[in-house]
Amino acid sequence: MICTKDTEIAFAGVNLVLKSTPSALAPALRNQFASTALTSWLPEIQPAPSWIPLRISEGVTKIMPVLPEAILYPHLMQSICQRITENTLVEWEKKPYELTGVEVDDQALHIIQVAISTTQPLPSTLGRAIHAQCFQWLAIADTALAAHLHQQDSLPITLAMRYSSSQKLHLRISLLQKELLAPLLWGLSTNLGGEITLAGIPCRLGKCIDILQASSFEQLARIPAQNVVELKFLSPTSFKQGRVIQPFPLPDLVFGSLLRRWNIFAPVELHFSPVEWNALISAFELKTYALKMAGGAEIGAEGWVRYRFLDPEKSRIATILAHFAEFAGVGRKTAMGMGQVVVRNS
């Protein structure tokens, strides 16, 4: 496990849940309480939090106060609780809200998404540029952490790009350790709503983020077993097999690589013993694609494969690892956009 301190991280983040105050009611509330701009609501917290809005869902507004390290969040929570006892009327972007709740995120696994747009056509792949940009965001919070991660053979970060047009995409960043969410968002907050440069092209980030999925290793370990697992490979996927690169997602390559990554990042009590993956491939539909990168192209397979497991224990482990793959990716260069996977029959 990679940790910035020798202290167990209690949780990954905090969300403040806001309710819009009707204009007719706002003056009455202001007479009762003095409203405070949310960005000034916690003056005792140093460094001052960065405030990141989540995408509004079902009319609910959520704002994340972000600090550079997750170990600072217990003190942040104490301050939030104290402020709630004094006043729940706040302002966000010059609009009045009532603070109606606080959500604590203690999950280890996250997939976050942010929109990127530009006035110029984007190249078909931005893997290396996005990879470098994510490390820049981490370095803003903790240069030593970013340098340490850069040297790891198995990164707790995967990246995916979903293009909606030649000028718009959604960047998805998956994290396999809860202590990485705080420094990543701290760095990301410096560019939200502003410009970055990717592969020499000026790009603009959206003003908010979306947490698409959050889970834990314990939750994944409780998923009911399936003897048939169908995986959809969304981006070119390949594996190191001896001294060669294998683009076909054979069972032992897929689930063997996932098991190794699971045992690196999951709690020790949830580790799996080595498995002989004598699974059957009952159906598949795959095509090979060349993903352009600096120095050449990477060949990988996209499409779907249906795996069948005859042994109940192997079925159980494979089911868990398949759902883990949605966060971890599969195979090579998952931190540059390769090996993105979803479970089709979940």
Place of tokens 């109940």: 312
**Residue 38, helix vs strand vs coil:** helix
Using the predicted structure, report yes or no on whether residue 33 has a pLDDT greater than 60.
no
Question: What would be the CATH architecture of the domain defined by 13-105?
Answer: 2-Layer Sandwich (3.30)
Strand order in the sheet with 296-308: 280-293, 296-308, 228-237, 341-343
5 to 9, 89, 136, 221: CA distances (angstroms): 9, 35, 21, 27
pLDDT, tens only, 87-100: 888 999 988 899 99
Place of tokens 């594996």: 239
Q: Is residue 86 very low, low, confident or very high in pLDDT (cuts 50, 70, 90)?
A: confident
**How confident is the model at residue 257, as a pLDDT?**
95
Using the predicted structure, report yes or no on whether residue 272 has a pLDDT greater than 50.
yes
Return d(Cα 95, Cα 63) in angstroms, integer: 14
Q: What are phi and psi of 133, to 5 degrees?
A: -65, -40
The 10 Å Cβ neighbour count of residue 294 is 8
- For 81, the enclosing helix (H) or strand (E) is helix 73-86
The answer to whether 13-105 and 109-215 have equal CATH topology is yes
Using the predicted structure, report yes or no on whether residue 126 has a pLDDT greater than 50.
yes
The residue among 341, 312, 34 whose CA lies nearest residue 213 is 341
For residues 268 and 192, is the Cβ–Cβ distance under 8 A? no
**How confident is the model at residue 123, as a pLDDT?**
81
Q: Is residue 298 very low, low, confident or very high in pLDDT (cuts 50, 70, 90)?
A: confident
The residue among 282, 285, 330 whose CA lies nearest residue 308 is 282
For residues 116 and 205, is the Cβ–Cβ distance under 8 A? yes
pTM: 0.91
**How confident is the model at residue 1, as a pLDDT?**
29
Q: What are phi and psi of 253, to 5 degrees?
A: -75, -45
CATH class of the structural domain 109-215: alpha beta
**How confident is the model at residue 316, as a pLDDT?**
97
- Domains of the chain: which residue ranges? 13-105, 109-215, 217-343
Query: Across residues 161-170, what is the average pLDDT?
Result: 91
Q: Is residue 6 very low, low, confident or very high in pLDDT (cuts 50, 70, 90)?
A: very low
**How confident is the model at residue 24, as a pLDDT?**
43
**How confident is the model at residue 22, as a pLDDT?**
65
First to last CA, the chain: 28
Q: Is residue 34 very low, low, confident or very high in pLDDT (cuts 50, 70, 90)?
A: low
**How confident is the model at residue 8, as a pLDDT?**
66
Q: Is residue 68 very low, low, confident or very high in pLDDT (cuts 50, 70, 90)?
A: very high
Query: Across residues 291-310, what is the average pLDDT?
Result: 88
Average of per-residue pLDDT values in the chain: 90
Q: Residues in the chain, how many?
A: 346
**Residue 190, helix vs strand vs coil:** coil
Burial class (CB within 10 angstroms; exposed 0-12, middle 13-18, buried 19+) of 29 = middle
For residues 236 and 330, is the Cβ–Cβ distance under 8 A? no
The secondary structure of the chain in percent helix, strand, coil, rounded to multiples of 5, reads 30, 35, 35
Return d(Cα 20, Cα 332) in angstroms, integer: 46
Q: Is residue 3 very low, low, confident or very high in pLDDT (cuts 50, 70, 90)?
A: very low
* CATH 3.30.70.1900 corresponds to the domain 217-343: yes
Q: Which amino acid is at 302?
A: E
pLDDT, tens only, 168-204: 999 999 999 999 999 999 999 999 999 999 988 999 9
Return d(Cα 285, Cα 301) in angstroms, integer: 10
For residues 155 and 36, is the Cβ–Cβ distance under 8 A? no
